[in-house]
Amino acid sequence: MGKKASPETMGFQTEVRQLLHLMIHSLYSNKEIFLRELISNASDAVDRLRFEALANPDLLTGDADLSIRVVLDKEAKTIAVTDNGIGMSREDLIENLGTIAKSGTADFLQQMTGDDKKDAQLIGQFGVGFYSSFIVADKVVVETRRADLEAKDAVRWESDGQGEFTVEPIERVERGTTVTLHLKETEAEFSELLRLETLIRKYSDHIAFPVLLEGGAEDDKEPRTVNSATALWMRSRSEVDDDEYKEFYKYLSHDFVDPITWSHNRVEGKREYTSLLYIPANAPFDLWNREVPRGLKLYVQRVFIMDDAEQFLPLYLRFVKGIVDSSDLPLNVSRELLQNNPQSAAMKTAITRRVLDMLARLSTADSKEDREIYQKFWKEFGQVIKEGLVEDSQNADKLMKLLRFTTTRSDGDLQDQSLADYLGRAIPKQDKIYYLLADTYATAKSSPHLEQLAKNGIEVLLLADRIDPWMVDHLADFEGKSFQDVGRGQLSLPEGDGTITQETMNEEHKPLLKKIQKKLKDRITAVNVSQRLIDSPACVVTADQDLTPQLRRMLEASGQKLPDSKPNFEINVEHPLVQRLSAERDDERFGQLANILLDHALLAEGAQLENPAAYVQRMNSLLLDMGTQEVKK
């Protein structure tokens, strides 16, 4: 027998030493994922063997049952992860464990083309993930034999992660790799069998091969399969029934209520990933806290990578639950890498559209039951969808079809009318979609701005949600119809309604308008004869360039300093009160009546008077005058 070769000491590549320091101190904030990385690497090796065995079946000789074993030795304080996969040669070992992010798997994938690459279920990069072992271990030993080599060609790798490693030849009968971690004194928690079982179920439940766990107490030495070994989202949709989808949602979201709907889809071609997306039935209590963690669970080739991967959906879809499983992203992917990764950006675009398409199908369903389901969804999440019009102009067309409104023809304040419903009831020659902003539905419903429109049979959207003042500025044309705020600027009615121009109407009543303007110059910008009013004496109108009163009040309430702004004042010259004002010859009384008309117009739109005391004084004076006139009679 020849003399046993002594271990050869080598140094890590400079980048590896830097990586180890970074990883141990900051890269992996959650140290428990070391087991996920090792099991993932083991699965990678088994997957590669399975693929190579298609061309060379002899590689499976003697051990065709592919699996991964995790063995705990509590007394020795070691964890060993063993696979019967492809294994490594001496050259593979030095290359993969001595340099950064360079694995046999990565090289193997680069050599594959066409269907071979597509069919190869190879995951991860052995190198970087392996180094996470040093987060919990002060010594790591790797023993391995490549499947197409003899027992005498096996090799052992050993390091304390401080800058050097040793390599020596050994005898190993079985193919594959064993990674043994000698736990640090501070990591005793990982020497408990239950802790390891929990980690396997949490991170590796959906690994495609059995993960066997053994060790601990004497009566628990028999290996047992811990993982389910089948990822639900990797199964064909035809193989999964509705109850299974619902139960998986509850496991995923910790919700007790069935989801409204879901979408299960696999993308192949330039990008390969699977998504399983759910729409919850109820909004979470923290829906409006935009800072809380949210997003999809990210898997890479069935291996759990992170919760709350927010990079795959926009913020306004933060209520969506589900998973995305990529075949292309690296196992060591971080949130920072995802943020700047063109692959994840492309996936985000596609997944966002899938969610919107899923909602579109629900919103346009023919059955009454499905329409009621969408109505329930809108009640829970409608305002969040409206955020999308502000934040996601790319999908504006899809989002606008999802919107639901209360209108002047609605039964109560239920938001159940789509823009398509609205246009289906439009009058001939109507080229605009009319809407009115208000603080409440009741204020909108009784607004004087609606009078002329109602007379002409024109329906109006009533917008009273807090997000609406922001949303309306991002409403593009819908089916060729532009949007008009009936409380802002000059009202434009459909052609053929018989109205005369604003200038002509103002000219006919120029003396009255000039006198009102003089009395109210500190409170209004301009005064016009109204084309809006039928039953009310007056209303206030926001100028086209000004903020809406609703948005202005919200910004001021948040502490923002805004420039002074005054509304336009419109009067209904046919109304008895305006005719009474026009007939008033007493200059002081005229001023009081003009101010009261303005006060009432402001109150009608939900505004708070700047000087309520002055309003009360004017009203008291008016009431006393009326009383004096009655006594004289």
Tens-digit pLDDT profile for residues 325-347: 998 887 667 777 777 788 888 99
At 111, the pLDDT band (50, 70, 90 cuts) reads very low
Do the domains at 8-225 and 506-542+561-632 have one common CATH topology? Answer: no
Please give the Cα distance from 116 to 76 (Å, whole number). Answer: 43
Query: 309 near 295, Cβ under 8 Å?
Result: yes
Query: 360 vs 114, 367, 370, 385, CA distance in Å?
Result: 35, 14, 11, 12
**Average per-residue pLDDT for the chain:** 83
Class at the top of the CATH hierarchy for domain 8-225: alpha beta
**Residue 19, C-beta contacts closer than 8 angstroms, at least 6 positions apart:** 27, 100, 128, 131
pLDDT for the residue 45 = 86
Question: Rounded to 5 degrees, what are φ and ψ at 305?
Answer: -110, -50
Residue 6: pLDDT above 80? Answer: no
For residue 380, give the H/E element and its range: helix 368-391
- 530-540 burial string, b = 16+ CB within 10 Å, else e? bbbbbebbbbb
Share of the chain above pLDDT 70, in %: 86
Tell which wins on pLDDT, 12 or 61.
Answer: 61
Any idea which residue has 């807090």 for tokens?
Answer: 466
pLDDT digits (tens, 9 = 90+) for 587-598: 999 999 999 999
**Residue 355, C-beta contacts closer than 8 angstroms, at least 6 positions apart:** 263, 277, 279, 313, 317, 320
Q: Hey, is 82 helix, strand or coil? A: strand
Section 443-471 average pLDDT = 91
Altogether, the residues listed in the chain come to a count of 633
Residue 116: pLDDT above 80? Answer: no
pLDDT for the residue 102 = 37
Section 429-442 average pLDDT = 91
pLDDT digits (tens, 9 = 90+) for 274-314: 999 999 988 876 787 777 778 998 888 766 677 788 899 99
- Residue boundaries of the structural domains of the chain: 8-225, 232-369, 411-496, 506-542+561-632
CA 45, chain centre distance (Å): 35
CATH fold, domain 232-369, is Ribosomal Protein S5; domain 2 (3.30.230)
Does the structural domain 506-542+561-632 have CATH classification 1.20.120.790?
yes
**631 dihedral zone (left: phi>0; alpha: psi -120 to 50; beta):** alpha
Class at the top of the CATH hierarchy for domain 411-496: alpha beta
Section 571-590 average pLDDT = 92
